[in-house]
Amino acid sequence: MIIKKIKLRNIRSYNEKEIQFNTGSTLLSGDIGSGKSTVLLAIDFALFGLSKGIITGEALLRHGQKDGYVELNFSIDNNEIKIRRTLKKTGGSIAQEPGYLRINNESENLSPVELKQRILQILNYPQETLTRKSLIYRYTVYTPQEEMKSILLGGNESRLDTLRRIFNIDKYKRIQENARMLSSDLRTRIKEKEAMISDLEELKKSIEEKKKNKEETSIKSMRTNDELSEVQKKIDEKKEEILMMDEKIKMLNECKKDLEINELNLRNSLKRINDSNEMIQKLMNEIIELEREDLSEIDADRINSDISGLKSKMLKVEEELLSARKSLNECRHDHLKSEKMIREIKELKKCPTCFQNVNDEHKDKIIGNENLKLQDLNENINLHTKKENSLLADSEIIREEIEKLNSLKSRNDVARLRSKNLGEKKEMHKRLTDESNQADESIKAIETRKIELNSRINELGNLRHEEIKKELDLLLHKEKEILLAKNTCDNEIKNIEKEMLRINEEISKKEKTRDDIFKMKNFRNFIDGSFMNIVETIERKVMLRVHNDFNELFMKWFKILVDDESMNVRLDEEFSPLIEQNGYNVEYPYLSGGEKTAGALAYRLALNQVINNLISNVKTRDLLILDEPTDGFSEEQVDRLRIVLDELNIKQIIIVSHESKIESFVENVIRLNKKDGVSEII
């Protein structure tokens, strides 16, 4: 990762400023408070956003401003990347707004969390750092100098926990804690499962008792089967007898039913003959009466033709009448119009168009013309009125003639219907006479059949049906008792088998549980013994390797920064600095200011190299940011910083310092100054 430039707008002491960065070593120079550390915080914010307790919106946004942003350009693996994060003040709080990420020429708008996730992917940092500050960035790229001093001055356990997280070795501690939790959980589950199988032997004894009960009940069921077969044989014999009797009874009932039907048919036939004779006599009287009437018909087509002609004539008269009335109305309208004009001319004094006086001679001329017009209209009105009256009289005469023809047509339709009725009555008379003759023949046949049926009924009269049915009922009752006893035995056997199946399933489950307990105990013994020992061994070896590398690098950088043959430094097993001077141990807090700074910087550089060597795939190996690395240094120590920078061999190093001597051995210098509360580049 190489930083190209950063743009700040309304960030702390910056109104709006763009700062360019080159490869090699770059010094951000300026007095205390000139805005140097703001640039480092802005880079941190652009990459990872706000972080509670480390970078807050209130600490970044310039006082009195409602919004601001940081835009960072950098390159990774030949990809040009630009990221922008925005701050906005809403109410009493300052929060991040959605920003954007551009890789080469492809841009996308993302939420603050999405931006951090994408940056972690680009930098190849672990995704578990999404919800917290990235320790890899914090201890390989940018660590405030005072924060490194606090790590050295902190407790051993706190320092070890921090280093474990940085080196991703804390997973071994988590594995051990999880293993202990798993072992405890296994112990609890083993006790629960042992309680579950405590009645296993009792269940096995219960199975043997169930088998014995099943055998006894099976013998009893077989005896009831023999009794049932004997009774069912007798029942079949009785049912056969009853079937034969039922067949005879069926024949007897059919004969009786047939006899009843014949008697009913006989009564119906007699009644039908009487009804037919009465109807025949009535029809004869009606036929005689109809034959006396005049049922002659007239020519219906001629009547319809006359009616059609009269209707056409009526239509023409009505059309002429409508025309006459229309002309009469027009004449009356014109008559009223002329009378109105005469009245208006008589009263007219001035012309309504030209407003000149109208003389009497001109008015008399107009009135005279209108009077002549009125005479013609009166004559036309009289003519049209006479024509209207004449057409009304013709219309009335035609209507009366149509009504006469319609009356004649109706009388003709009545005569035709009565003539048709006469023919139908004659046909009915003939049909009823024939039916009466056929009914006489049917009555004779019915009486003969009745005699035959009575003889057949007498033959089938004597049967022992009720006696045999009672015997069958007794046998069925006995069969029911035997079946009940058999079903009781069968149900008892089924219940025993069901209970045995349930107990066997329970035994099988408990035996499986017993096997699970054995496996769980072996697994717990493995966790408490071999596994925990393996994890501890791995952690010790990893920590030993890290410690060796860390210790060598720490000693190297400290020796370069502090040229004192009487002082030896190393790291103990808990990564705490051990300092020996002239054969005496010296506590870190009792070192001079420059020596403390040298120790913190040596620890920082050693940590940087160990992390980059241990996690070789991160994309921030080419960038190092040093914040006030020479605080408390002597001039000689500042000179030794040049050796450190040469030894580091990192593509881009950004140093924040107010020490002007550093300018002599860095490749690039960016001078900052604050004037009237605003940071500027000199």
pLDDT at 175 exceeding the cut of 60 = yes
Q: What is the mean pLDDT of residues 391-403?
A: 83
Q: In this predicted structure, what is the pLDDT of residue 43?
A: 94
- Determine the average pLDDT of the residues in 164-169: 72
Q: What is the pLDDT of residue 149?
A: 66
Token pair belonging to 236 = 């079949």
For residue 278, pLDDT over 80 is answered with: no
E strand or H helix that includes residue 193: helix 170-196
Picking from 495, 612, 504, the residue whose alpha carbon sits closest to that of residue 553 is 612
- pLDDT of 384 > 60? The answer is yes
Question: Residue 614 above 80 pLDDT?
Answer: no
Given a cut of 80, is residue 21 above it in pLDDT?
yes
Full strand arrangement of the beta sheet holding 577-581: 567-571, 577-581, 584-586
Higher pLDDT, 607 or 86: 86
- pLDDT computed for residue 72 by the predictor: 97
Residue range 485-513: average pLDDT?
88
Residue 470's pLDDT is 83
Q: Which fold has domain 2-141+620-681?
A: Rossmann fold (3.40.50)
Q: What angle do CA 129, 131, 135 make, to 5 degrees?
A: 35
Helices first, then strands: H and E counts in the chain: 14, 15
- pLDDT tens figures, 305-354: 877 888 888 888 888 888 888 888 888 888 888 888 888 777 777 766 66
HEC per residue, 205-250? HHHHHHHHHHHHHHHHHHHHHHHHHHHHHHHHHHHHHHHHHHHHHH
pLDDT: which is higher, 521 or 162: 521
Q: What pLDDT, on a 0 to 100 scale, did the predictor assign at position 469?
A: 80
Domain locations in the chain? 2-141+620-681, 300-420
Between 107-111, 265-269, 351-355, 473-477, the lowest mean confidence (pLDDT) is in 351-355
pLDDT of the residue at 316:
87
Q: What one-character DSSP code corresponds to residue 420? A: H
Instruction: Give the model confidence (pLDDT) of 25-69 as tens digits.
Output: 999 999 888 999 899 999 999 999 988 777 888 989 999 899 999
pLDDT score recorded for residue 580: 87
Q: Give pTM, 2 decimals.
A: 0.52
At residue 67, the pLDDT reads: 94
Spatial separation of the C-alpha atoms in residues 480 and 487, rounded to whole Å? 10
- What pLDDT score does 5 carry? 96
Region of poorest pLDDT, from 134-148, 276-290, 656-670: 276-290
Tokens 């009843």 correspond to: 260
Per-residue pLDDT tens over the stretch 233-268? 888 887 887 787 777 777 767 766 776 777 777 777
| pLDDT of 643 over the 60 cut | yes
Asked if the model's pLDDT at residue 209 lies above 90, the reply is no
Lowest-confidence range among 328-337, 362-371, 374-383, 629-638? 362-371
What was the pLDDT predicted at 91? 81
Same fold flag, 2-141+620-681 and 300-420? no
Q: Examine the pLDDT at 155 and tell me if it is beyond 90.
A: no
**pLDDT over threshold 60, residue 199:** yes
Q: Which CATH code of 2.30.30.30, 2.60.40.1840, 1.10.287.510, 3.20.20.70 fits the domain covering 300-420? A: 1.10.287.510
Least confident window among 144-148, 605-609, 632-636:
144-148
Give the model's confidence band at 290: pLDDT under 50 very low, under 70 low, under 90 confident, else very high.
Answer: low
Residue 565 has pLDDT above 90, yes or no: no
Please give the average per-residue pLDDT across 129-153, as a whole number. Answer: 68
